[in-house]
Amino acid sequence: MKTMQRNTSSPADAWHAEHAYFAALLRLLQREVDVFHTGESPNYELMLDIISYLRDFSDRFHHPREDVAFERLARRCPDLELVLARLQQEHRVIAHAGETLRGLLTAILDGSLVKRAEVEIAAAMYLVYYGNHIAREEEDVVGRAAGTLSAEDWEAVRAAVPQQRDPLFGETPDERYRVLRRRSAAAG
């Protein structure tokens, strides 16, 4: 990804662009997980910002729209039915794993005693799971949806959740996410 400019020329382009943003965040999270191997302390604040964005934006807006797109696509492409059912199930797993990780990071930042290994494992599992999820969607779903879904389908996808300003990659990032915005642009 060369720039962090949002390409919204079509719903599938916008979908793909969000995946590129999320993948950049996962690369940043991976770098922090790598720090565990050096024996140093990772940047827990940055990790919490990443996971908070993915919980508050991706899980609440990106995934519900996908769920509608998957249902529509499964009706038209029966060969994708199983893949789409799995991806939909993974949305629930990702939300659960993300909440577990957010809880651990919040506890650490609040000064509670949390085993490093516990955070390392939770973060590593989240990375593998989410990374594979996005790769599968990009390989098997986004292109097929672009060529298959009708304007009415895309309208249903858009209407699945209220329109929401993107607090990190939108035109004006929230104060909280300014550092993360800069870092993710560099990681893109």
- Contacting residues toward Fe ion, per CB under 5 A: 66, 137
The C-alpha atoms of residue 52 and residue 65 are separated, in whole angstroms, by: 19
Provide the minimum distance between the beta carbon of 25 and Fe ion in the complex, in angstroms, as a whole number: 13
Q: Which is nearer to Fe ion, 137 or 153 (CB)?
A: 137
**CA-closest candidate to residue 2, choices 28, 34, 32, 24:** 24
Q: Which is nearer to Fe ion, 66 or 153 (CB)?
A: 66
- CA angle at residue 173 from 172 to 178, to 5 degrees? 130
Residues in the chain: 188
Q: How far is CA 170 from the centre of its chain?
A: 15
Q: Which is nearer to Fe ion, 32 or 137 (CB)?
A: 137
Provide the minimum distance between the beta carbon of 31 and Fe ion in the complex, in angstroms, as a whole number: 22
Q: Which is nearer to Fe ion, 133 or 183 (CB)?
A: 133
Provide the minimum distance between the beta carbon of 59 and Fe ion in the complex, in angstroms, as a whole number: 10
**CA-closest candidate to residue 169, choices 17, 2, 11:** 17
Handedness of CA 127, 84, 146, 14 (dihedral sign): negative
The C-alpha atoms of residue 135 and residue 51 are separated, in whole angstroms, by: 19
Query: Cβ distance 55 to 98 under 8 Å?
Result: yes
The C-alpha atoms of residue 50 and residue 130 are separated, in whole angstroms, by: 13
Q: Which is nearer to Fe ion, 17 or 119 (CB)?
A: 17
